[in-house]
Structure 1
Amino acid sequence: MAPTTWLDKLEEELNIDVDWMDPDFLVQMQPTIRFHDLTSNQNFVDIQMGHPSNAALLRDTAREVQNERTAAPDAHGSKETHPLWLAIYTRMAVRMCKKVVDLIQGRVLLQTSPAQAYDTAATLAHARLYDAEFARVGIPRARFCIKIPCTGPALIAASVLQAEGIQTLGTALFGLPQAMACSQAGCLSISPYFNDVRAHDDRSVWPAVRDPAVEHPNAARLVQILDLYRRQYAATGKRQPLVKNASFVSQEEALAAGEMGCQSATLFHTLIQDLAAHPYTDAERPGGIAAAAATRPKPAADVPFYKDRPAPSDRLAPLLAVDPLNAADPTTVAVGYDAVVAADYLADGGKPLDAAIAADPVAKDRLDAALTLFIACEKRSQDKVEAALASL
């Protein structure tokens, strides 16, 4: 028998999602693993949109949408609501999802325009456009989810979408208030970033620690988010968002997500390959035997995720009372469980959430950095779409 790998072990503890839209990679990995969900953002959509295998599809999509606008402009939404390039981009992104949806077990995920992250109406309109395009290619709502940036106005849109039966994920999430707001919006999932997005290109801002579950400066916030949802489920019986931990740099960070009890880990293709090549032993795991003893298998798919979930282990429990990212005092939590549960973050158009983010310099800076990155990626895709239009 082949030795158990870090990828095998992690799949025992949580669902492994893939953060890469390349169908060839999914086929290549199928003898090893069939991924649960396939997530993406403007960066990964742009990369795949520029792949030579999609050149003809992009031109055909551009021609098709342009012709529809010419034939019946009023039937496809106003140009102010859906600019031509965005309509083409959206249909193209969904068509690329169509190429991979049968290669995974669960949902494909696409993200609303980051440039409209503070505009409820625009975020809602883009999500509904995705919904219409998924219906066009025959992907039902049970097989997709819309990623919504965790700003106040965008999460207002998420609450409307959830009421309409369109599942959402709160993304670019960096603190407890954003997590509570996603619960209040009824989001299916959240995607807390374990690292600042800048750490992927600039290792000087990456905390390269040996035992990320207890040593990484963001570990405390993640443990507190998971405990928030565990306690909320126990207190109310209401479904809480599933935690899809994301933005890992190292294999050790991915293993930490398993120990913490996340529902899934969203992994880049390169990290997946590294995990699949790494034989697993309890002794070699970050945190060693104590960390291995603190993990538990993921619950069965038909069991509510937070039902009977235990409190954090002895290794992780101290993280409930500290916040290394709290510049005022890292030995304390600036906004704890009682305060976030009492707050209505989606009141007044989401202004309380935006105020809470503004009061947290780390969350505000990292949210701004993530949106800036994705806006730049979206602009590159817009350029590709407009070049395709020009070539017709």
Structure 2
Amino acid sequence: MTKTLLEQLREMTKVVADTGDFESILRFKPQDSTTNPSLITAAAQMPAYRSLVDDVLKSAKEELGDEASDKDVAKLAFKRLAIEFGKKILAIVPGRVSTEVDARLSYDRQATMQQAREIIAEYDKAGVSRDRILIKIASTWEGIQAAKQLEEEGIHCNLTLLFGMHQAVACAEAKVTLISPFVGRILDWYKKDTGKDYQGADDPGVKSVTAIYNYFKKFGYKTVVMGASFRNIGEITSLAGCDLLTISPKLLEELDSTKADLPRKLSPENAKTMDIQRIPMDQQTFERMHNEDRMAHDKLTEGIEGFSKSLHELEELLAHRLSEIGASTKPELAAR
């Protein structure tokens, strides 16, 4: 009997759930899980997670005191909420969870490192091994250099919002643990720019991740590749064999309900036989290649702005929720 696409994919690729919804993680049993500000914001509005959100808000309010503004409490609660979701996810998945640094710090190397250390300290306090945490950082030059230092400190990183080969090579040279090239967002840009549609191996996002994967395996880099941001299962099946793929619950369900043969498309053995030129990388080369790559330039800027907007929305949501529970919070705190 033919296995489902998801069953076959698991035999050659680590499957990661791209969600903050615990029910979906329980259902599909991924190896790892990853979240981002948009996913956390969506999950925080689900009735199932109201008590978790309220507990984080009350704790932040208690820590900062009654004089703190709802906005300040919401900012602290946002940081704690991502970690609380991470801890809950780690109770379900056997592997790792990615927790994201504030996207508004993407061009600030020192602030990125400081927040990454704060996140790890919270997980340390909860008794969670560092080997189970990936700190998610945008693939700016500053973010990559922050990740290089963090990796040297034993803090593992997932470099996200990655669209170009220059970003990937810089990450590999920095010895980061994992990168997340965004397949679907690359496709979106090319469809808008050219007016064409693309399928399977012709998909520009698939081509980009294939080239990155082959480059890493050809030159023996330890950094692993996790394709992300998929628009359809054709993109996923075209990358079968990639180190990891992070997939939304909707597409996981489609893969799990489809039976067909799934041939392996990517392998280290094939990559090692390819004629690939090595790219020397420094900041000047990175910036030149980034400016020459309109797609990568546009999508990195757009991605940081989008995640920053989601963070702002989440803080607004938390501040509003705090005002709703304020009447009940004050007597409770006074009784402690």
Please tell me whether residue 23 in structure 1 is matched to residue 22 in structure 2: yes
**Secondary structure of the residue that 1:89 maps to in structure 2?**
helix
What CA distance in whole angstroms lies between the structure 1 residues aligned with 2:187 and 2:215? 27
Q: Which letter maps to 2:164?
A: G
CA distance in 2, matches of 1:117, 1:42: 14
- Whole-Å separation in 1 of the counterparts to 2:126 and 2:109: 26
Any conservation in 2 of the 1:18–1:269 contact (CA below 8 Å)? yes
8 Å CA contact 1:39–1:109 kept in 2: the answer is: yes
Task: Give distance in 2, aligned partners of 1:197 and 1:177.
Answer: 15
* Structure 1 residue aligned with 2:270: 310
For residues 64-123 of structure 1, the C-alpha deviation after alignment (integer angstroms, 9 at most, x for no partner) is: 12322339x9xxxxx9xxx64332111111111222212112101111111111111221
**CA shift in 2, pair 1:119/1:354, >3 Å:** farther
Partner residue, 1:9: 8
The structural deviation recorded for 1:13 is 1.9
Question: Which runs of structure 2 are paired with 1:117-266 in the superposition (5 Å)?
Answer: 117-196=106-185, 199=188, 208-210=197-199, 212-213=200-201, 215-233=202-220, 239-258=221-240, 261-266=241-246
Structure that is richer in helix per residue = 2
| Residue 357 of structure 1, aligned match among 287, 290, 299 | 290
How far off is 1:62 after superposition? 1.9
Aligned: 1:94 with 2:83: yes
- 1:118-168 superposed Cα distances (whole Å, 9 cap, x missing partner): 111221122112112212333211111011100011111111111111100
TM-score when scaled to structure 1?
A: 0.75
2:55 aligns with one of 45, 48, 60: 60
TM-score (structure 2 length as normaliser)? 0.87
Identical pairs, percent: 23
Provide the C-alpha distance between the structure 1 equivalents of 2:277 and 2:40, rounded to a whole number of angstroms.
Answer: 36
Cα distance in 1 between the residues matched to 2:51 and 2:233: 37
In the alignment, the residues of structure 1 paired with residue 126 and residue 150 of structure 2 have an alpha-carbon distance, to the nearest angstrom, of 20
> 2:254 matched to 1:274?
yes
Q: Secondary structure at the match of 2:254?
A: helix
**RMSD between aligned residues:** 2.9
Gaps of at least 5 residues in structure 2 are: 327-336
| Structure 1 alignment gaps of length 5 or more | 74-78, 234-238, 283-291, 299-305, 321-335, 346-350
SS at match of 1:100: helix
Contact kept, 8 Å, 2:4 with 2:260, in 1: the verdict is yes
How many corresponding residue pairs? 323
Structure 1 residue 389, shift from structure 2 partner: 3.2
* 8 Å Cα contact 1:198-1:369 kept in structure 2: no
3-state SS of paired residue (2:183) = coil
Paired residues of 2:210 and 2:239 also in contact (CA < 8 A): no
Amino acid of the structure 2 residue aligned with 1:50:
Q
Q: How far apart are the structure 1 equivalents of 2:9 and 2:111?
A: 38
Q: Conserved in 1, the CA contact under 8 Å of 2:184 and 2:205? A: yes
